[in-house]
Amino acid sequence: MKTTTGDGRTLTLSFHNLSLTLGSGANRTDALVDINLEIARGELIAVTGRSGSGKSSLLNVAGGLVEPSSGSVIVDGTDLAALSPSELAAARRRSVGYVFQDLNLLPTLTAAENVSLPLELDGMKPKPARTQAVAALDSVELADLADRYPDEMSGGQRQRVAIARGLVGERTLLLADEPTGALDEVTAEGVMAILRQQCELGASTLMVTHDPSLAAYADRVIRLRDGRIDSVSMNPSLQVTQ
């Protein structure tokens, strides 16, 4: 199985001839059609396109939440199709972090408890889980607010808690769906700076967004149309340095 890109970088995520069909009969829809895409360690990839173009489907397939109709999804060298449901769940917890627009922070848990929850669900004891959670909160400059509840924080702070939850445990792949939500421009800029920084530290990010300004933070911008890759825009400034 291929584990590096053509120029020798480690592959975090790859799709090979990936297709996804939803519904059946008259309601049958080709959500994704023959997608081939490789994402290297440290890359930030933005996926854009109209509503219904397949963006969210691609994210769900990448995270193992939806099984493709054909083709393969390789995460950290593992073909997700080869895993049993319990192995898939374990691989997801180990490798994949999620940052969704709907933050899903639990209101009765503090920021640190929200962030440590996935680790504890994975069997880690509370004390080391908290240590890792506070370290993740520190990476988004929120260690001081570790014991605050979500309703005691601003929207931008809650968004950063969600990012910390996505990163905790040193996930190699971060899947983000409109990660700045309805945040103001300056706060959104801060969130994107954190995502970029995490990529520089070794995480790979696949981010879905409608917003060209957010997509522009990416190394590559993939535009989907009717489930197919319609165009790819490389970051010209990165092409010069590579």
Partner 1 sequence: MAVKDALLALLADGPQYGYQLKSAFETATGNNWPLNIGQVYSTLQRLDRDSLIVEAGEPGDDGRRSYELTAAGREALTHWFAAPADPPGTDRDELSMKVLIAVATNPASALLVVNDERTAAMGHLQTLTAHKARATSADLATRLHLDRTVLLADAQVRWLNLVEQRVEQVLSTAPTSHSPNAASSKETRS
Nearest distance from residue 198's CB to partner 1, in Å? 14
Nearest distance from residue 202's CB to partner 1, in Å? 18
The DSSP bridge partners found for residue 16 are: 72
**b/e code 15-32 from CB counts within 10 Å (16+ = b):** bbebbbeeeeeeeeebbb
Residues that bind partner 1 (CB under 8 A): 50, 193, 196, 211-213, 215-218, 221, 223, 230-238
Half-sphere exposure in the Cβ direction for 127 (13 Å, CA): 0
Nearer CB in complex with partner 1: 155/190 = 190
Nearer CB in complex with partner 1: 39/218 = 218
Contact 137, 148 (CB under 8 A): no
Residue 159: partners with Cβ closer than 8 Å, 6 or more residues away: 99, 103, 179, 180, 181, 183, 187, 191
Nearest distance from residue 156's CB to partner 1, in Å? 17
Half-sphere exposure in the Cβ direction for 79 (13 Å, CA): 10
Gyration radius of the chain over CA positions: 18
Nearest distance from residue 227's CB to partner 1, in Å? 16
Nearer CB in complex with partner 1: 134/224 = 224
Nearer CB in complex with partner 1: 168/215 = 215
Please list the alpha-helical segments (H only) found in 67-211: 85-95, 111-121, 126-139, 155-167, 185-200
Nearest distance from residue 220's CB to partner 1, in Å? 9
**Helix axis angle, 126-139 relative to 155-167, nearest 10°?**
120
| Cα–Cα distances in angstroms (integers) from residue 211 to residues 32, 46, 89, 221, in the given order | 21, 10, 31, 11
Contact 70, 45 (CB under 8 A): no
Nearest distance from residue 226's CB to partner 1, in Å? 11
Nearer CB in complex with partner 1: 121/238 = 238
Nearer CB in complex with partner 1: 110/198 = 198
